[in-house]
Amino acid sequence: MLWSLIKILFFVALVAALTMGANLLMETGPGVRLAVGTLEFNLGPLQAVIAALVGLAVIWGVFKLAGLLVAFLHFLNGDETAVSRYFSRNRERKGYQALSEALLALSSGEGRQAMAKAAKAEKYLRKPEVTALVTAQASEMVGDRKRAEAAYKTLLKSDKTRFVGIRGILGQKLDEGDTDTALALAQKAFALRPRNEGVQDTLLKLQAEKHDWKGARQTLGAKLKHGGMPRDVHRRRDAVLAVSQAKEVLAEGNSIQAREAAIEAARLSPDLVPAAAMAARAYIEQDKARYAARVIKKAWESQPHPELATAFAEIEAGEGPRDRLKRFEQLLRLKPDHPESKMLRAELLIAAEDFPAARRAMGDLASEDPTTRTLAIMAAIERGEGADEAVVRGWLARAVTAPRGPQWVCDKCQAIAAEWGPTCSNCGAFDTLSWRRPTVPETTASPTGAEMLPLIVGAPAPAPDAAPEADVVDMPGARAEDGDGATPSKEAETARA
């Protein structure tokens, strides 16, 4: 502070001296006469200017020597770096100037210039932990991945910048598709900075892709602990991971552990359809029909779904069509006006061969919301009531090209999935599949079109030694419900011969 005040006072005095000198020069005419004791100097204008410049240089040298003397006194006083700081001050000024220019070039998109300025800054500053990050980002900008990786590895040498280096290499491995190395790096980054939300999300996504459900649930718990996720979102996503874990455990043959995981998933998120269906089947295996029905009803109130209806039918697998229709009333009355409830009621009535009631249950759903399933149900009703074959084929022909209705759609990339999963198979996003109508037009024909062709164009004649088969069209995921108590359809039960 004192040194800055001295500099300011010196600048003011210098300006005053120059002003006085200019006045004297104007008063004395073309020359300047200096008298120092018994000595007298007569200088012309040019000589006076040169003398002034020399004087300024001498004064500047005096100040530099004074600064060096002060640094030396500090050194003698115990400050071991005082002298070295004095000589490096100019280098630091040039280095930070080059670093600021590198940052400006980087933000302007001039990668090569940023790399050159960063190299210059490193030459003066000799602080790779400061300049390596700029070099790495500039190298990535120009596509020099090897140099970028080398710069990130430089950052690994310092404790202060190790996290930045790991995260930089992590991003490179993700771009290269090396998910195994990326997972290991994400775990190291998470250990260093468990509160970093970006690392949490990356690690969670990689763990889900690798089916490391236990590790993913731990990461999810860390997000909740460090305030990176609301509690209700945590419960939902924890349920997604739990049901995924249950499916994998079941595939490995451990049905007991799978049942426990499925029941836990349904408890965490009762509106998660796959969890509810799996938990219901787990209760059925334990002969706890009442618990299974309760889980399905709770999920149905939130989101009616064909999979829930299938699981509900499995509670009493051997009942007849009339008994099943009666039992399903407790489920249907929860959401009577929902399209899924209407279609399910119509399917049950078709299985019970009450076709007029099935038509009444459908109402105007086929005209207001024509989908593959609704039109196929109408074809079944028409055939059951003995309508002309052309009428049945007309309904089926419309069903071939009709939209499929609600499906598992990714909320992020809008891709359609054949079945539910914890991650989107198209974009890899976690917990983005929801049961709804696609927002983009369906560009591919329904896969049921080929199955409907025998009814539309006529089935080929059976071979002489072959037994004739029933003329049945099976909708996607559909299961015909016969009098022996088979499971009702998840989609639509269509026409029967």
3-state secondary structure of 43: strand
- Report DSSP state, residue 315: G
- Report DSSP state, residue 474: B
- Find the DSSP H helices in 143-212: 145-155, 162-176, 179-192, 197-209
With b for 16 or more beta-carbon neighbours within 10 A and e for fewer, the 289-311 pattern comes to eebbbebbbebbebbbbbbbbbb
Determine contact, residues 486/318, Cβ cutoff 8 Å: no
Count of alpha carbons within 13 Å of 384, Cβ hemisphere only?
22
Q: What is the phi/psi pair of residue 408, to 5°?
A: -80, 110
Residues pairing with 42 in the sheet? 33
Determine contact, residues 89/97, Cβ cutoff 8 Å: no
**Cβ–Cβ contacts within 10 Å for residue 437, how many?**
13
Burial class (CB in 10 A: 0-12, 13-18, 19+), 33: exposed
Determine contact, residues 344/332, Cβ cutoff 8 Å: yes
Determine contact, residues 185/170, Cβ cutoff 8 Å: yes
316: CB partners within 8 A, 6+ apart: 289, 323, 324, 327, 485
3-state secondary structure of 493: strand
Concatenate the DSSP letters of all residues of 324-388 into one string: HHHHHHHHHTTSTTSHHHHHHHHHHHHHTT-HHHHHHHHTTHHHHS--HHHHHHHHHHHHHTT--
**For every one of its 497 residues, what pLDDT tens digit does the chain have, with 9 covering 90 and above?**
566 778 788 778 877 877 776 676 566 555 666 666 677 666 666 666 677 777 778 887 777 677 667 766 766 776 665 555 555 666 777 888 888 888 888 888 888 888 898 888 888 877 777 788 888 888 988 888 898 999 999 889 888 889 999 999 999 999 888 999 999 999 999 999 999 989 999 999 899 888 888 899 899 898 888 887 888 888 888 888 888 888 877 777 667 777 788 888 888 888 889 999 989 988 998 899 999 999 999 999 999 999 999 999 999 988 899 999 999 999 999 999 999 999 999 999 999 999 999 999 999 999 998 999 999 999 999 999 999 999 999 999 999 989 989 999 999 999 999 889 888 888 888 889 999 999 876 644 444 333 333 333 333 334 444 333 333 333 333 333 443 444 444 334 433 33
Question: Hey, CA dihedral for 438, 444, 445, 446, is it positive or negative?
Answer: negative
Burial class (CB in 10 A: 0-12, 13-18, 19+), 386: exposed
